[in-house]
Amino acid sequence: MILLVRHGETQWNVERRFQGQKDSPLTERGRRQAAAMAALVADLVHRDGGDWRLVASPLGRTLDTAAIIAAATGLSLETDERLMEINCGAWEGLTWTEVSAGRDANSRHWTFDAPGGETHEDVAARIDDFLAALPPEPERRVVLVSHGAAGRVMRGSYIGLSREAMLDLDVPQDAIFRLQNGQIDRLDCDPAE
């Protein structure tokens, strides 16, 4: 089983900026979101009783979220660069409005086209490599703390979605996803308003 968590809200999320592999701090709301997700993860991990791992992207926003989860679960924190967010190249730090000018703002299909950034195939290759290195189900028990685009790619890869369908997946910061037995379940947390 994989419990997939996206980091809590950041200042750049509020400002609608492309973060990519740059960082901005969690907001107070983001810390509350992380705490709510941590409580849900702790409940699931403790009820399961198996040997769990906690693995996060090494970026600051995921490490801050993972530290809150580690405190709630008692799990040791590992990092893996394959869980990092897409590199958005020249777009990192720019607002959605700045980047979407002249593009279909309702489509995410162009978000993997940043000058100097990673392609969908680049992100999928590293996510697939990470997934392939995990123990098989049912022995697999890992909590992953990652990002919006990377999490979409992981969920899409896990159940074999097309790129187009994967791009339409939601990326909440108040829910976790359980990937188990070839299916994905969304588990909502208590609201962190």
7-52, pLDDT tens digit by residue? Answer: 999 999 999 999 999 999 999 999 999 999 999 999 999 999 899 9
Domain of residue 120 covers 2-188
pTM greater than the 0.85 cutoff: yes
Q: Is 138 exposed, middle or buried (0-12, 13-18, 19+ CB in 10 A)?
A: exposed
Q: For residue 139, indicate whether it is catalytic.
A: no
Residue 111: its pLDDT value, please? 78
Residue with tokens 């100097």: 116
What does residue 180 show for φ and ψ, rounded to 5 degrees? -155, 135
Between CA 145 and CA 87 the distance in angstroms is 17
The reply to whether 12 falls in a domain is yes
**Any bridge partners for residue 95, and if so which?**
17
Mean pLDDT computed over every residue of the chain: 94
Catalytic site residue from 9, 15, 46, 85: 85
For position 190, what pLDDT does the model report? 81
167 is a domain residue: yes
Query: What is the reported pLDDT for 101?
Result: 85
pLDDT at 170: 93
Q: What is the pLDDT of residues 58-101, one digit of tens each?
A: 999 999 999 999 999 999 999 999 999 999 999 999 998 999 88
Predicted confidence (pLDDT) at residue 108 exceeds the cutoff of 80: no
List the catalytic residue out of 7, 9, 92, 147: 7
Contacts 24+ apart (CB under 8 A), 11-16: 12/93, 13/173, 15/95, 16/95, 16/96, 16/97
Tally the domains of the chain.
Answer: 1
Contact 132, 156 (CB under 8 A): no
Q: The domain that contains 100 carries what CATH number?
A: 3.40.50.1240
The yes-or-no answer on residue 118 being catalytic is no
Q: Where are the beta strands (DSSP E) in 71-113?
A: 77-79
Q: Is the pLDDT of residue 193 over 80?
A: no
Q: Per residue in 130-149, pLDDT tens?
A: 999 999 998 999 999 999 99
Instruction: Say if 193 falls within a structural domain.
Output: no
